[in-house]
Structure 1
Amino acid sequence: MTRNDWTLTSTTADLRRPPLPTSPVTFDAQPQQLTIDLARTAIVVIDLQNDFCHPDGWLAGIGVDISGAQAPIAVLADFLPWLRSRDVPVVWVNWGNRPDQANLPPGVRHVYDPAAEGNGIGSTTGPSGSPVLQAGSWAAAIVDNLKVDARDIQVDKYRMSGFVDTPLDSILRNLRVDTLLFAGVNADQCVLNTLTDAANLGYDVVMLEDAVGTTSPSYCLDATVYNVRQCYGFTTTTTALRTQAN
């Protein structure tokens, strides 16, 4: 039985959903201590892909220092199996452009390509030889250090927000989750945009500070953390959540 289902017979339809067991956990967070129900929680992991994080990928190939983008990988490699053991859904939200780019407007195609030199998100000739962030390509694949479980859910996105022009909201509502943990890159760009839309849609949002990274200057991350705490939700660390849940 799924998280969101009816009980049907030939003569009756019971529209009550199956009860979800509660799994509360209280842990240190900012701006205050936080209690969530892991049974109603999912983690959204954003853009930990070769083109963003691999030395042979797109960003490194155009001269971007990717060390900040690589920082969350080891943290999540350790943390995600623990979440799965608690039956917390793992949702990967990654750039996955259509090969024909039919839904990519110019403002997206030319990100990181201000002079229109063909180096942007819409480039068909990335530094690795793989089209930049094209669905199904090596460039768009999740980095090898992070293993995708058969139970995980993958969603392609085409904007800074994972909610625009994607089924992400429908999937999360079908999972019957209220709280979203956020991880991935870039913290101040795609992670923040997706988190902001989630908060605007009514989800409770928690950014995992040690599981996000960015290639932007440090003040961008500082401002992001401040704004998440001030305007949208909470921040914590994987260590705080995991240690205090045990």
Structure 2
Amino acid sequence: MRLGRYLLPFSAVLYGCANAQLINPNNITFGNPFNFWTKTQDGWDLTRGNHTNTITLPLPHPAGNVTIQPATSAMVIIDMQNFFLHPDLGGDPLGRALVPTTIDMIHAFRTNGMKVLWTNWGLTDFDLTTMPPALFRGFSSDGTSATSFGSDMGTIQGNISVGRKLMRGSWNAQPFGDLLDEQVGGVANGTDFYFNKNRLSGMWGTSTPMQTFLQDGMITTLFFGGVNVDQCVWGTLLDSYYKGYDVILVDDISATTSPMAATGMVDFNAALNGWRANSTDIIPALSVS
């Protein structure tokens, strides 16, 4: 039995037990022997005692600085797919506008040896047999089940077969635009990893493929971006928070088609569950590390 599957995050077993001050007269250690943060004078240390090659991110007031361990940190890109972004499919222009900044973040993470994780809708026919009715209704184009998950979306631009809605391997489920080359190249080079999901959250369930990867790689700190920020991004971040990961929402690589109040809810709660930041807070710190 692999303890890493049950004591989350497992990295703290290696790094934390010898370094954590379990009885701290100043009450600056938060958590438990296997998973803890340390409060510093100007922010938070999320390294769980592994201080090799750490990076400090100067996050906006009142969050304060956050010190991370690159070896246990990753960027999570959620649902930046043709289905949600391509203009010929009615995709969100706000989401498309995120692409250049998202790519800048990807490159900064790779340069520092930090993993880039892609989690996108990618259904199988078996998934369709177990999908609850609420999700089928939510992804219907005309209020009938005939246009929901798995339905043939026809062609665009005369010769592009859009494929079955959000099914694994279909064109509509591929990363949008230049992100496809980034994802394919990153996976080939071993810097990026791709995970299909069958719910809004990429961390839904007892052990998703992405969660298994995080546990095996002893990754504890996650940076989130993508679309929609109040739906799939929020769901993945929230499930990660529930499962004991450090969660940091990157505002300027996240967007939604929902009313502004939905983003406000996410912003408020993400700051309570973890931190909010912009790429302008993160990339300069990664560039000088």
Which range, TM-score by smaller chain?
0.7 to 0.9
**Offset at 1:103?**
3.0
Q: How does 1:174-185 map to 2 (within 5 A)?
A: 174-185=216-227
**As a proportion of its length, which structure holds more helix?**
2
Q: Structure 1 counterpart of 2:229, which letter? A: A
Q: What is the alpha-carbon distance in structure 2 between the residues aligned to residue 28 and residue 20 of structure 1?
A: 19
Secondary structure, in 3 states, of the residue corresponding to 2:130? coil
Q: What is the alpha-carbon distance in structure 2 between the residues aligned to residue 215 and residue 51 of structure 1?
A: 13
Q: How does 1:162-241 map to 2 (within 5 A)?
A: 162-165=202-205, 166-230=208-272, 232-241=273-282
Which of 114, 117, 120 is the matching residue for 1:91? 117
Could you tell me the TM-score, scaled by structure 2's length?
0.71
Higher relative contact order structure (alpha carbons within 8 Å, sequence separation ≥ 6): 1
Q: Deviations over 1:16-62 (max 9, x none)?
A: 79x894322231246411222222101111000000111123xx1xx
Q: What is the alpha-carbon distance in structure 2 between the residues aligned to residue 119 and residue 71 of structure 1?
A: 28
The question of 1:137 aligning with 2:178 is answered no
Q: What is the alpha-carbon distance in structure 1 between the residues aligned to residue 242 and residue 96 of structure 2?
A: 29
Asked whether the 8 Å contact 1:31–1:229 carries over to 2, the reply is: no
Q: Deviations over 1:83-124 (max 9, x none)?
A: 10101001100000113522322221221437226333x141
Q: What is the alpha-carbon distance in structure 2 between the residues aligned to residue 213 and residue 96 of structure 1?
A: 21
Asked whether the 8 Å contact 1:29–1:234 carries over to 2, the reply is: no
The farther-off stretch of 156-165 and 177-186 is: 156-165
**Matched residues, percent identical?**
29
Q: Tell me how many residue pairs correspond in the alignment.
A: 224
Q: What is the alpha-carbon distance in structure 1 between the residues aligned to residue 244 and residue 154 of structure 2?
A: 40
Q: What is the alpha-carbon distance in structure 2 between the residues aligned to residue 71 and residue 184 of structure 1?
A: 11
Q: What is the alpha-carbon distance in structure 2 between the residues aligned to residue 30 and residue 46 of structure 1?
A: 27
Which of 74, 85, 88 is the matching residue for 1:53? 85
Aligned to 2:143: 115
Secondary structure, in 3 states, of the residue corresponding to 1:226? helix
Asked whether the 8 Å contact 2:55–2:285 carries over to 1, the reply is: no
Q: CA RMSD in A?
A: 2.3
Asked whether the 8 Å contact 1:48–1:94 carries over to 2, the reply is: yes
